[in-house]
């Protein structure tokens, strides 16, 4: 049977390749970049994604989303942006998606890439040193036979639906399906109630406040959120030479302070030293970035901030009550907008089934939150794929974390556990791969700073990371015991 041929017995299309990557978001595109570094021009990669193009969650997310980090640091490997904007510029959704296209074109100059967009992976199995995938699209089936499979599903982010609200006299929407700058919102003067306190809520509040000066915008912020201050981590202009703190330095200090039990103390240190926030309480932190000026603009434009969670909006005695989890209620005007900006990350229900980050044979890599090896899926795509092609993925004793399970048990501890996990695994990888792996890593946030400062930080990390590794290991072991979660190296049995 030839590539692309159909079996006479089954009428199922069969494709063959050296590597199949499932998922064309930031994890999959980084995996694609790395794979192209090891394969020859005559070899082939098949890229599969359920969406109709590359971009992952950026395809589905709200129209006014902006990168919360400088755009050049969001890429595949060391592929440069062609945007021509200032290095501190926060790229728009369309600009990010255009860069995904650019990354694909760059990789195609090195290796054969066949794209199958609109196809969903149904199942896969390994036999005779081949991984056989069954994929489906609009009732059609396709089998892919690959020597290696990289499942780059990442966090599996899906769009937010509007909240289910009882009162027919309010407008319940989600930013993913209703642009806050669109005609419907522009034609209304009714108050807006943003539900949530994370990055989506901040983006939405900022868009409304700047687009409609004087519009009543309110925030129901749950337990509150704080963010890393972008101005402190990515200072602009000449301050790159003397101001700010390299990300590696922040994560190293975080890992040194966190011992698996003291997340409240570490959160206080991180918020005070590097944070920005606008809510009176700040119970959440999920590695988001916000500038001081954005915080000030939002805080100045908000009419009211309520530290509670929305349960419903109901009609009572001719009025509308916004019912809150605490048992209290807030009277709101008829026609008010309720915008669901609650979190996207690690909220799958039911959760994904567990799958180790590498199969027993070493031929299948899985990048998903139930076996997380890093805090960011881009890092998983980049570093795990290098280890795969170096035949070291089962050799290096990386720790994996069941992040959704930990979030259910302690949302407060999660970000600091992820930070310790990332630094522990990065330390192991540093001892196991050629220097070029790190030299080609364009997603390294330290690249924001001039080379002399980076070299000082890199040298310090290389001299100290082994000493700190034992503390990180003990911290992760403490987390495993304390919360009864999967957090440790794969069994070598």
Residue 89 falls inside a structural domain: yes
**What Å distances lie between residue 386 and 34, 77, 147, 169, 377, CA to CA?**
6, 11, 16, 55, 14
Please classify residue 38 by burial: count the beta carbons closer than 10 Å to its beta carbon, then call 0-12 exposed, 13-18 middle and 19+ buried. middle
CB 402 within 8 A of CB 351: no
Residue 488 falls inside a structural domain: no
Round to whole Å and give the CA distance between 358 and 356. 5
Round to whole Å and give the CA distance between 242 and 168. 56
Residue 32 falls inside a structural domain: yes
Please give the pLDDT value at position 1: 33
Round to whole Å and give the CA distance between 189 and 216. 8
Clarify whether residues 37 and 81 are in a common domain. yes
CB 30 within 8 A of CB 386: no
Residue 46 falls inside a structural domain: yes
Clarify whether residues 327 and 377 are in a common domain. no
CB 67 within 8 A of CB 88: no
Clarify whether residues 309 and 336 are in a common domain. yes
Question: Tokens representing 242?
Answer: 């003397």
CATH code (residue 38): 3.50.50.60
Identify any residues that bridge with 137 across adjacent strands, giving them in sequence order. Answer: 140
**What Å distances lie between residue 351 and 54, 166, 399, CA to CA?**
24, 28, 20
User: Which distant-in-sequence residues (6+ apart) come within 8 Å of 97 by Cβ?
Assistant: 53, 54, 55, 58, 59
Residue 264 falls inside a structural domain: no
Residue 427 falls inside a structural domain: no
Clarify whether residues 185 and 125 are in a common domain. no
Residue 466 falls inside a structural domain: no
DSSP-derived letter for residue 474 is H
Q: Going residue by residue through the chain, which has 493 residues, state the pLDDT in tens, using 9 for 90 and above.
A: 344 444 444 578 999 999 999 999 999 999 999 999 999 999 999 999 999 999 999 999 999 999 999 999 999 999 999 999 999 999 999 999 999 999 999 999 999 999 999 999 999 999 989 999 999 999 999 999 999 999 999 887 788 899 999 999 999 999 999 999 999 999 999 999 999 999 999 999 999 999 999 999 999 999 999 999 999 999 999 999 999 999 999 999 999 999 999 999 999 999 999 999 999 888 888 888 999 999 999 999 999 999 999 999 999 999 999 999 999 999 999 999 999 999 766 565 667 889 999 999 999 999 999 999 999 999 999 999 999 999 999 999 999 999 999 999 999 999 999 999 999 999 999 999 999 999 999 999 999 999 999 988 888 888 888 889 999 999 999 999 999 999 999 975 4
Please classify residue 471 by burial: count the beta carbons closer than 10 Å to its beta carbon, then call 0-12 exposed, 13-18 middle and 19+ buried. middle
Clarify whether residues 284 and 351 are in a common domain. no
Among residues 325, 340, 355, the one where a domain terminates is 340
Clarify whether residues 180 and 302 are in a common domain. yes
Clarify whether residues 286 and 203 are in a common domain. yes
- Total number of domains in the chain: 2
Clarify whether residues 175 and 308 are in a common domain. yes
Among residues 340, 357, 380, the one where a domain terminates is 340
Clarify whether residues 88 and 125 are in a common domain. yes
- For residue 162, whether the previous peptide bond is cis, meaning omega lies within 30 degrees of 0, is no
CB 371 within 8 A of CB 17: no
Round to whole Å and give the CA distance between 19 and 383. 16
Please give the pLDDT value at position 348: 57
Round to whole Å and give the CA distance between 325 and 165. 14
Residue 423 falls inside a structural domain: no
Question: Tokens representing 139?
Answer: 């009732």
Clarify whether residues 28 and 97 are in a common domain. yes
Round to whole Å and give the CA distance between 20 and 150. 6
Please give the pLDDT value at position 2: 41
Clarify whether residues 284 and 383 are in a common domain. no
Clarify whether residues 119 and 211 are in a common domain. no
- Domain that residue 101 falls in: 13-158+347-396+432-448
């Amino acid at each position: 049977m030839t590539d692309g041929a159909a079996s006479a017995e089954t009428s199922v299309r069969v494709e063959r390749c050296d590597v199949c990557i499932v998922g064309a978001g930031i994890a999959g595109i980084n995996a694609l970049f790395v794979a192209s570094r090891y394969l020859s021009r005559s070899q082939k990669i098949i890229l599969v994604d359920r969406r109709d193009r590359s971009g992952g969650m950026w395809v589905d997310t709200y129209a006014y989303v902006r990168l919360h980090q400088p755009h050049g640091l969001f890429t595949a490997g060391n592929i440069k942006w062609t945007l021509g904007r200032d290095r501190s510029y926060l790229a728009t959704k369309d600009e990010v998606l255009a860069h995904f296209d650019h990354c694909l074109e760059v990789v195609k100059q090195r290796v054969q890439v066949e794209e199958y967009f609109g196809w969903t992976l149904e199942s896969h199995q390994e036999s005779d040193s081949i991984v056989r995938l069954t994929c489906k699209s609009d009732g059609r089936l396709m089998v892919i036979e690959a020597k290696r499979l990289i499942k780059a599903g990442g966090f599996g982010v899906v769009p937010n639906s509007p909240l289910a609200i009882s009162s027919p006299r309010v407008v319940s929407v989600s930013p993913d399906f209703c642009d806050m700058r669109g005609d419907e919102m522009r034609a209304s003067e009714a108050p807006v109630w943003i539900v949530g306190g994370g990055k989506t809520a901040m983006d939405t509040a900022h868009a409304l406040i700047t687009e409609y000066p004087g519009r009543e915008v309110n925030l129901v912020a749950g337990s509150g959120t704080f963010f890393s201050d972008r101005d402190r981590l990515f200072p602009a202009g000449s301050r790159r030479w003397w101001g700010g703190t390299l990300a590696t330095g922040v994560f190293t200090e975080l890992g040194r302070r966190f011992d698996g039990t003291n997340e409240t103390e570490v959160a206080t240190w991180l918020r005070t030293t590097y944070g920005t926030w606008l809510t009176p309480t700040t119970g959440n932190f999920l590695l988001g970035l916000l500038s001081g000026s954005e915080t000030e603009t939002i805080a100045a434009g908000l009419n009211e901030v309520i530290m509670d969670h929305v349960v419903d909006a109901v009609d009572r005695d001719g009025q509308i009550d916004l019912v809150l989890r605490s048992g209290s209620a807030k009277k709101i005007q008829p026609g008010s907008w309720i915008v669901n900006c609650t979190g996207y990350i690690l909220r799958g229900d039911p959760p994904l089934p567990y799958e180790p980050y590498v199969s027993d044979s070493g031929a299948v890599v899985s990048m998903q939150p139930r076996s997380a090896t890093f805090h960011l899926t881009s890092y998983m795509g980049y570093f795990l794929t290098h280890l795969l092609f170096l035949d070291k993925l089962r050799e290096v004793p990386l720790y994996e974390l069941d992040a959704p399970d930990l979030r259910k048990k302690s949302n407060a501890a999660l970000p600091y556990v992820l930070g310790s996990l990332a630094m522990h695994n990065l330390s192991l990888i540093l001892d196991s791969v050629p220097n070029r792996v790190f030299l080609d890593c364009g997603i390294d946030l330290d690249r924001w700073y001039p080379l002399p400062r980076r070299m000082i930080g890199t040298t310090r990390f290389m001299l100290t990371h082994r000493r700190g590794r034992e503390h990180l290991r003990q911290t992760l072991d403490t987390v495993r015991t304390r919360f009864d979660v999967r957090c440790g190296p794969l069994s070598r049995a």
